[in-house]
Structure 1
Amino acid sequence: MLHWQKRILVTGGAGFLGSHLCERLAAEENDVICLDNFFTGSKRNVAHLLDKPNFELLRHDLVQPILLEVDEIYNLACPASPVHYQYNPVKTVKTSVMGAINMLGLAKRVKAKILQASTSEVYGDPREHPQREAYWGHVNPIGRRACYDEGKRCAETLFFDYHRQNGVNIRVARIFNTYGPRMHPNDGRVVSNFIMQALNGKPITLYGDGLQTRSFCFVDDLIEGLMRLMAAPDDFTGPVNLGNPDEFSIKELAERIVRLTGSSSMFVHEPLPSDDPLQRRPDIRLAMERLDWRPGTPLEDGLGKTIRYFRGIL
């Protein structure tokens, strides 16, 4: 008889990060339930898993409760790019807050371990650089990005309150910019934007002077970090930063993508969007110390794989 190690629920499992996580968990012979409402996720991202006996796909919106028997929950469901989370900001807040309540309620009931995919956006436009987990952030609670930033901050609050009040076994990961194959081509994120513009020979849009900085973590490294956090001792709840501490200016990223794609695209400058952080870089000492984790994929290698994926879907 087949024996699966664990029953694991991945919410947002047909999304960019979720599909890579489902793939890894299924490959390790866990019984994986992928839950998604396909607002930004795509069935195509998990199509190659559908014939696996230990993989199940459910169409469900996390704003509604669901009854399942599981050992672990990875709560990844939420649109994560400005284009998508600002499209329906009320829905974004509901997904973060009511989704967290529903999943924490499930974890409490079935005594499952639960991991929240939080975000570096909880730091807002940071006054501290690089950002440590102890930093409380600098967020505009009524800005256009607040539906995502404050939704994720509230979800963290709920996780720690369920942990303190009900003894729920939680993990909180603060995910910094991540890129790789299966990113949504129209998600408005800088890596996918630049690659699509370069491959289509369109002008590359730089906001402001392009000197604002970001740190880019390849998806395989990030998934490894999430799995290590879930497997960590129960006294380690996080929050813990997961991201790549190597910092690049947006202009530098654009120049690399133009070179790697062999594109003739020129740069055009647009005004900086409101509340767009000027610097973003994780301090990952806690992840290195407690999870023995650090990203290992150089930017050039990761960009090469991502460009090949986008060429394939074009």
Structure 2
Amino acid sequence: MAPSLEEPEAIADVLANPLKQKPQLVAPEPEHCPGPESERAGTASSCDGCPNQAICASAPKGPDPDIPIITARLENVKHKILVLSGKGGVGKSTFTNLLAHAFSTNPDSTVGVMDADITGPSTAKMLGVEDETIHVSATGMSPVWVTENLAVMSIQFMLPDRDAAIIWRGPKKNGLIKQFLKDVEWGELDFLLVDTPPGTSDEHLSVNSFLKESGIDGAVVVTTPQEVALLDVRKEIDFCRKAGIRILGLAENMSAFVCPNCKGESQIFKASTGGGRALAEEMDIPFLGSVPLDPRIRMACDYGESFFDSFPDSPACIAFKQVVRNVGRQLGLDEKSVLPE
């Protein structure tokens, strides 16, 4: 087995304190240094005369004071679900959009979508509210309402134009994610879906850290059948386990191409190693189902329409409904209340 790139203690510290950065020291740490991240840093007797004393003393310490505020803001959100995948292009945002529309088919359920893909926001476009702006009041920011029971928050609403690039480093992206959780008036929600970017980096660590106290119900991991995608998805599953995030299940997207006319299927991304179902069995996680590739899903997303309303009898819609029912089952919910017939 290849050696780990990081010590287990270092990995645990990053997961527990993802936003905590080591101070930039101007001299090596002396022999009896309590540590630049210690609560006693800069104030211990051994710090006297050290060139780093002022730096260590001014460095932020202790738990994030905004965590209790976030927990209070989200206390009326019943279920918080992350949509993850280590691979880009497998359809995380599409899956998030379909999940949102599926949950909102129950008029008694209220759904929120938070677009945590800061540099590549697409949720607003898929939900048909790309040109909307957000309202800010003394109590916070209001999300954009797509329907009476479906709301979304995205950085897209804050950009000067639709083509503006977000060229930010990690801390600024983390700050915006915190703002989406701390300052947005989500109100009473049955489901809050968080659409994440590819990988296991800043945004994922921040979301997990900010939501840890209020509780994450779990993650839906999305993949496509080919082994190249499964390689990265394995890493995402490992991240969830190390971060203590429950995996609600693995969903296979674009499992086959379904012709809208003849209903014939073609294996576009042929599963050379068994695809998502085999990976779920290998990793001992629930398999939520396979959704075929239907070009009308792309069309519905481009025009900001609900695929469920436009093509309810399509094979992809029928397959995705089963995925939604399986997610509801993992949450311990009544299938009929999650997705009414």
- TM-score (structure 2 length as normaliser): 0.37
The structure whose RCO (Cα within 8 Å, separation 6+) is larger is 2
Rg larger for: 2
Q: What is the TM-score normalised by the length of structure 1?
A: 0.40
